[in-house]
């Protein structure tokens, strides 16, 4: 796939859960003592200006028809790595981009409540918009001090700064790579701040991060 003018072939998307305190509070989740991560699948990926498809199977089921946005800073892996030490993190990062972790929220919550994985709620086609480009590490001096926001139909829903991340990028990479071999092009999303809210067909999402740009995605109902 192409993100801006860079071609990458990710093998997986790893997402941090519960990485901003204000988001942890709004979801009544416990504060983690170690990074919490899960995977999204490659079929979720779409790039800037492509629509997000609202699945019929969710739209037509009143128990499952809440789909939320989550704006996140993501980084892209530069080369295959395992057991990366935090001090040399940035040797393994190709650059930064914007990621939307679209989530079928009440499906996630009900699955979690009965101790099932939340896999299916995260992995519908198009539930992982990314872009508009990959900004190299050399152009972002401090990835932990970037304004991050998301608008729905022009109205701000999420507004924060990456300085509020609980686990920073070096800790995240060190932790995840203890368990998972990361490959060139793999995407790691660093979690969302508060302000998550439901979207519906017809809505237009604009996600922005300082120094990276904006991605714009319309929600359309699956035909």
Name the site residues for Mg ion (rule: CB under 5 A).
70, 101, 192
Closest CB 200 distance from Mg ion, rounded Å: 20
Least separation, in Å, of the C-beta of 102 and Mg ion?
Answer: 9
Which CB atom, from 84 or from 150, has the smaller least distance to Mg ion? 150
- Structure token digits, residue 34: 């170690």
Residue closer to Mg ion, measured from CB, 101 or 186: 101
To the nearest whole angstrom, how small is the minimum distance from the Cβ of residue 115 to Mg ion? 20
Nearest distance, CB of residue 191 and Mg ion, angstroms: 6
Q: Of 101 and 174, which has the nearer Cβ to Mg ion?
A: 101
DSSP-derived 3-state class of residue 55: coil
User: Which residue, 70 or 174, is less far from Mg ion as judged by CB?
Assistant: 70
Nearer to Mg ion, 185 or 193 (CB): 193
Least Å distance, CB 5 to Mg ion, is: 27
The first and second tokens of residue 40, run together, are 């999204």
Closest residue to Mg ion, based on beta-carbon distance: 101
Taking CB atoms within 8 Å and a gap of at least 24, the contacts of 173-178 are 173/75, 173/81, 173/84, 173/86, 173/89, 173/92, 173/93, 174/84, 174/85, 174/86, 174/89, 175/34, 175/35, 175/37, 176/14, 176/35, 176/37, 177/81, 177/82, 177/83, 177/84, 178/83
Tokens matching residue 201: 């067909």
């Amino acid at each position: 796939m192409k993100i801006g003018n860079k071609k990458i072939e990710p093998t997986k998307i790893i997402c941090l859960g519960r990485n901003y305190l204000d988001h942890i509070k709004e979801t009544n989740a416990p504060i983690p003592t170690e990074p919490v991560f899960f995977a999204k699948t490659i079929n979720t990926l779409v790039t800037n200006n492509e629509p997000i498809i609202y699945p019929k199977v969710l739209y037509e089921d009143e128990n499952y028809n809440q789909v939320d946005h989550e704006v996140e800073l993501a980084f892209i892996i530069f080369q295959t790595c395992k057991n990366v030490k935090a001090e040399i993190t940035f040797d393994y990062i190709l650059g930064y981009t914007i990621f939307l972790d679209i989530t079928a929220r009440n499906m996630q919550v009900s699955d979690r409540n009965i101790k099932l994985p939340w896999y299916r709620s995260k992995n519908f086609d198009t539930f992982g918009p990314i872009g508009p480009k990959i900004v190299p590490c050399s152009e972002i001096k401090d990835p932990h001090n970037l304004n991050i926001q998301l608008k729905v139909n022009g109205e701000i829903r999420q507004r924060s700064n990456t300085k509020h991340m609980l686990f920073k990028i070096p800790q995240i990479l060190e932790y995840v790579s203890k368990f998972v071999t990361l490959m060139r092009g793999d995407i790691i999303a660093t979690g969302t701040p508060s302000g998550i809210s439901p979207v519906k067909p017809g809505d237009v999402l604009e996600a922005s991060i300082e120094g990276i740009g904006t991605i714009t995605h319309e929600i359309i109902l699956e035909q």
